[in-house]
Structure 1
Amino acid sequence: MTAPDERTRWDIVTLAVGAGVIAALQVGKVPPALPELRTDLGLTLVGGGWLASLLHLFAALFAIGMSMATDRVGPARLLVVSMLVMAAGSALGALSGSTALLFAGRALESLGFLGASISAPTLIVAAAVPRDRSLALGIWSAYFPVGAAIAMVAAPIFLNGPGWRGLWLADAAICLAVAVLLAILVRPAHWPDVPGPRRGRGLRDVAETLRLPGPYLFALSFFLYACAIFALMTWMPTFLLERLGYSLESAALIGALVVLVNVVGNLGAAWLMHRNVPRWSIIAISFLGVLGTAWFVFAGTAPDALRVPAAVAMSCICGVLPAACLSGAPAHARSSAEVATCSGVVVHGSNLGNLLAAPIFATVVTYFGGWSNGHLPMIGLGIAGLAVTVLVRAVDRER
C-alpha cells in the first residue's frame, strides 16, 4: 500500500481526516445537550450516559467484521456510505418523539461512525508512503477531539435557539454534504491509485491475523485510555453545571476546551513517533497523566480552583496515546492485506472503552458517593494501563 511515485498524497490524507472530524461531531453534540434531553425526554443520568456511549455500540461489537467489509467494498466507497448512514441517523433522532426513536437514530450513527473510523485510516495508509505513515496516522488520531470540540462549541448556539433537534438536523446536513464531497473527490479521476474493492480475506486468513498479540495489547491500552478520557469528556459539562454551578454556555466551552487540548497530545505523539520515540513509552506517558491529575479533578477534598486546569492537563497529556496505538496496527501487520484487520482490533478496544465509560462512570457517581469519588475509577484505569504498557514494550520491541 505505497504510492507508486513514492510521494504521500496529503490531499487524500486531509480529506480522510476531515471526514473523521465530521464523524466525531456525533460524539461532541451529546454532552452539552444532555441537560435538555433529560428534561425533554425524561432521561436519567445513567440513561444519558448510555445515549452518549451508544455511538460506540456497533464499533464495540462489529469492528472486525467492518474491517473485512472494508476490503470487499473498498475504503473510499465505505467512507461515503458511512457518512450517509450517519446523516440518516441524526435526522431520525431529530424527528423522534420518544427515547426509543432517539436511541434508534443513535444506533444508525454508531454504524456509520464505525465505518468511518476504519475506512478513513485505511485510506490514509494507502495514501501515505512508509516514512510518512506514523505522522499521517498521528494527525488522523486528532479527528476525534477536534470534531467533538467543534460540536461542543457550536451546541449552545443551537440549544439556545432551535434546541437539540436543530442541532441534530444541522449535523445530518453536514454529514450529507461531506458524503457528496467524498464521492466527487475520492475516485480514480482524482486519485488514480484509490484502493477499490478486492477479494475479501477468508475466515481462515482473518483468524491467522487475529493470532498476532500486538494489536490486542494496543486495543487493551486504547480501551483503558478511552474509559478514562471519554468519561471525562462526556461528563465534564454536567459536572461543571451540577457540582460547580457553571452556566450552560461556560460549561460547554470549558468542556470543549478539555476535548480540544487532547489534540495537542495527539500531534505531540505524531512528532515523537516521527523521531522514533518508542510507542510503549508514549503510552506510559498517557497513563501517568491520568494518575497525576485524577484526584485534582474529582476528589471531594481537592481545591475547586484546580479542577478545570487538572482536567485540561489530563486530556492534553493523555492525548499522546491514540496515535501510538493506531500506528501500532499497521506496524504489526505482516502485509498490506492485514492492515484493516489489525486496525479493526485496535478500534474495537477504543470503542468498547467509549461504550462503557460514560454509563459506568455515571453509575459510580449515582450509587457510590457522588462526584467526589470520581477519581477512584480513574486511578484504577491508570494503574492497569501502566501494567499493560510493560507487555506492549515486550512485544513492540520486536517490530
Structure 2
Amino acid sequence: MPMPRRWTSILFLWLLGVLAAAQLAKISVIAPVLRSRFGLTLTETGWLISLLEVGGGLFGFVAGLGLGRVGCRRALLSGLVLLAVSGLWEASASSAIPLFAARAMEGLAYLLVVIAAPTTIATIADAHARPRALALWSTFVPVGVAIGSAVTSLALAPWGLRGVMLGWAMLVMAAIPIAIRLPIGHGIENRIAFPPAPAWLATIAFGLYTLSICALTMLLPTYLVEQRGAAISTSGLIAALASGATLPAFGFALWAMRGGAPGRRTMILIATPALVGAGALGAAAFTGGTGLAGASMLAVLAIGVGGIVSPLMFARLPVLAGVRRGDDPRIASANGLLTQFGAGGALLGPPLAARLVEHAGWQALGIAFALLSLAMLATLIAAEQLSLRTAA
C-alpha cells in the first residue's frame, strides 16, 4: 500500500475509535438530566456511564486472542453495526432498564471496534511508522471524550435528549460504508499467541491510568455543577477541554519518538515527573478552597500532564510484547490485554469514584487520583525492569 494511502487508512481507523469513544462522554454530559428523568442515584449514574467498557472489561483479552480467527475486517464492521443499533435503542428507551441494556450492548460494540482498529493499524504501518501510528491511536479516548462532551453539551438544548442520541447513531451509520471500502485483509496470522510478562505489567499500568482518568473526567461535570455552580453546558465544555489537554501531550510524545519507539530509559525519565505532577494537580483540583475557574484549570492540567505517558506506553507495547512483524498475533493479544485492563479501569472508575464521593466527599476523589498515579508509575517501572531482565 502506498504511504499516503496507508496513512489515510490509519487516520480513518483512528477516527472510528474517536467516534466510539465519544459515546462514553455522551452519557457523562447528560448524566444530570438522566438522573432527574429516571430517578438514578449517583452510583447508578456512574455505572451507566462506565457500562460502555463492560465488553472490554470482561472479554478484552479473549477478543484479542480470537481476533486472528475472526479477522480484523469482520470484527470492525460488526462493532460499527452494533454501535449504531445500540444508539438507536438508547434513544427510544423510556425507562432505566432498557437504557442500561442498550448501554451494555454499546459496550460490546465498542470492544469490537477498539480491538480491531489498533490491530489493523499495526498491520498497515511499517516498522518505522508503527510507534507513531500506535501513539496516535492512544489519543482516541481523550479526543473522543473531548468531542463527545463538546458536541453533546452544545446539541442538548436545541435537539433534546432523544435528538442527541439519534444524532450520534446517525454518525456511526454514516461511517459504515466508508469502513467497508477500507483496504484491509484478515490482518494477522490465524493463530493464538500469548504476550510475555512485561506486556502484562505494562497493561496493568494502563488499567490504573484509565481507572484514575475516567474517575476524574467522567465525574468532573457533576462536580462542577453540584459543587461549583456551573451550568450543564459549561461543565460539558470544561470536561471537553480537560480531555483535549492530552493533545499537546501527544505532540510532546511524538517529539520524544522522533527516532523511533522510545527506549526504556526515556520512558522512565518522562513518566516519573509526569505522573507525580499529575497526581499532585489532580488532588489539588478537588480541595475545598478552589473556585470554578481554579478547579477547572487544575483538572485540565492534571489530565494534560499525565497524558504524556499514554502515547509512549502504546508505542512501547509491541516492544514489550516481543513483536517483530506487523502480522504477529501477539500484537492482537497484547492489544486485547490492554483493552481488558484499560476497559476494566474505565468500567470501575466512575462508579467506584461515585461511591467514594458519597462516603468521604469530593476531596477524597483527588487523593485517590494521586495515589493511583503513583501506583501506575511503580507498575510501569516494574514492567520495564522485567523486560530488561528478560532480554538479558
Q: Is the 2:56–2:344 contact (alpha carbons within 8 Å) kept by the matching residues of 1?
A: yes
Which residue in 2 is equivalent to 1:144? 141
In terms of mean alpha carbon deviation, does 349-358 or 273-282 score higher?
A: 273-282
- Provide the rounded CA distance (Å) in 2 between the counterparts of 1:285 and 1:136: 25
1:306: Cα distance to partner? 2.5
Q: Is the 1:68–1:200 contact (alpha carbons within 8 Å) kept by the matching residues of 2?
A: no
1:292 to 257, 275, 280: 280
Which residue in 2 is equivalent to 1:215? 199
- Provide the rounded CA distance (Å) in 1 between the counterparts of 2:102 and 2:258: 40
- Provide the rounded CA distance (Å) in 2 between the counterparts of 1:61 and 1:151: 24
Q: Is the 2:228–2:291 contact (alpha carbons within 8 Å) kept by the matching residues of 1?
A: no
- Provide the rounded CA distance (Å) in 2 between the counterparts of 1:390 and 1:63: 24
Q: Is the 1:289–1:317 contact (alpha carbons within 8 Å) kept by the matching residues of 2?
A: yes
Which residue in 1 is equivalent to 2:380? 389
Which residue in 2 is equivalent to 1:337? 329
- 5 Å-filtered alignment, 1:107-126, equals 107-126=104-123
1:365: Cα distance to partner? 0.7
1:95: Cα distance to partner? 0.6
1:237: Cα distance to partner? 1.0
Query: Deviation per CA, 1:219-277, whole angstroms, max 9, x where unpaired?
Result: 11111111111111101111111111011221111111011112222332233133435
TM-score, normalised relative to structure 1: 0.90
- Provide the rounded CA distance (Å) in 1 between the counterparts of 2:155 and 2:301: 29
Q: Is the 1:224–1:381 contact (alpha carbons within 8 Å) kept by the matching residues of 2?
A: yes
Does 2:179 correspond to 1:195? no
Which residue in 1 is equivalent to 2:22? 25
SS across alignment from 2:158? coil
Counterpart code for 1:126: T
When the two chains are superposed, the root-mean-square deviation of aligned CA atoms in Å is: 2.0
105 and 304 in structure 1: CA distance in 2 versus 1, 3 angstrom threshold: closer
- Provide the rounded CA distance (Å) in 1 between the counterparts of 2:224 and 2:283: 16
SS across alignment from 2:129? helix
Q: Is the 2:278–2:301 contact (alpha carbons within 8 Å) kept by the matching residues of 1?
A: no
- Provide the rounded CA distance (Å) in 1 between the counterparts of 2:123 and 2:382: 29
Residue ranges of structure 2 left out of the alignment (5+ in a row): none
SS across alignment from 1:175? helix
Q: Is the 1:134–1:274 contact (alpha carbons within 8 Å) kept by the matching residues of 2?
A: no
- Provide the rounded CA distance (Å) in 2 between the counterparts of 1:11 and 1:48: 38
Query: Deviation per CA, 1:295-320, whole angstroms, max 9, x where unpaired?
Result: 32012245665311111111111112
SS across alignment from 1:374? helix
- Provide the rounded CA distance (Å) in 2 between the counterparts of 1:64 and 1:356: 17
Does 2:357 correspond to 1:365? yes
- Provide the rounded CA distance (Å) in 2 between the counterparts of 1:338 and 1:17: 21
Which residue in 2 is equivalent to 1:88? 85
- Provide the rounded CA distance (Å) in 1 between the counterparts of 2:282 and 2:357: 14
- Provide the rounded CA distance (Å) in 2 between the counterparts of 1:161 and 1:125: 41
- Provide the rounded CA distance (Å) in 2 between the counterparts of 1:334 and 1:47: 41
Q: Is the 1:7–1:129 contact (alpha carbons within 8 Å) kept by the matching residues of 2?
A: no
1:244 to 206, 224, 228: 228
Counterpart code for 1:219: T
1:66: Cα distance to partner? 1.2
302 and 6 in structure 1: CA distance in 2 versus 1, 3 angstrom threshold: closer
199 and 15 in structure 1: CA distance in 2 versus 1, 3 angstrom threshold: same
Does 2:340 correspond to 1:348? yes
Which residue in 1 is equivalent to 2:219? 235
SS across alignment from 1:355? helix
1:323: Cα distance to partner? 1.5
Does 2:312 correspond to 1:328? no
Which residue in 2 is equivalent to 1:57? 54
- Provide the rounded CA distance (Å) in 2 between the counterparts of 1:353 and 1:284: 21
- Provide the rounded CA distance (Å) in 2 between the counterparts of 1:76 and 1:285: 40
Structure scoring higher RCO (CA < 8 A, sep ≥ 6) equals 2
1:376 to 361, 364, 367: 367
SS across alignment from 1:361? helix
331 and 91 in structure 1: CA distance in 2 versus 1, 3 angstrom threshold: same
1:311 to 299, 306, 326: 299
112 and 366 in structure 1: CA distance in 2 versus 1, 3 angstrom threshold: same
270 and 349 in structure 1: CA distance in 2 versus 1, 3 angstrom threshold: farther
1:253 to 234, 237, 244: 237
- Provide the rounded CA distance (Å) in 2 between the counterparts of 1:140 and 1:53: 21
1:156: Cα distance to partner? 2.4
- Provide the rounded CA distance (Å) in 2 between the counterparts of 1:305 and 1:85: 39
Q: Is the 2:123–2:187 contact (alpha carbons within 8 Å) kept by the matching residues of 1?
A: no
TM-score, normalised relative to structure 2: 0.92
250 and 343 in structure 1: CA distance in 2 versus 1, 3 angstrom threshold: same
- Provide the rounded CA distance (Å) in 1 between the counterparts of 2:365 and 2:357: 7
198 and 130 in structure 1: CA distance in 2 versus 1, 3 angstrom threshold: closer
- Give the count of matched residue pairs: 382
- 5 Å-filtered alignment, 1:163-178, equals 163-178=160-175
Q: Is the 2:243–2:303 contact (alpha carbons within 8 Å) kept by the matching residues of 1?
A: yes
Q: Is the 2:43–2:354 contact (alpha carbons within 8 Å) kept by the matching residues of 1?
A: yes
Query: Deviation per CA, 1:149-170, whole angstroms, max 9, x where unpaired?
Result: 1111111233213322211111
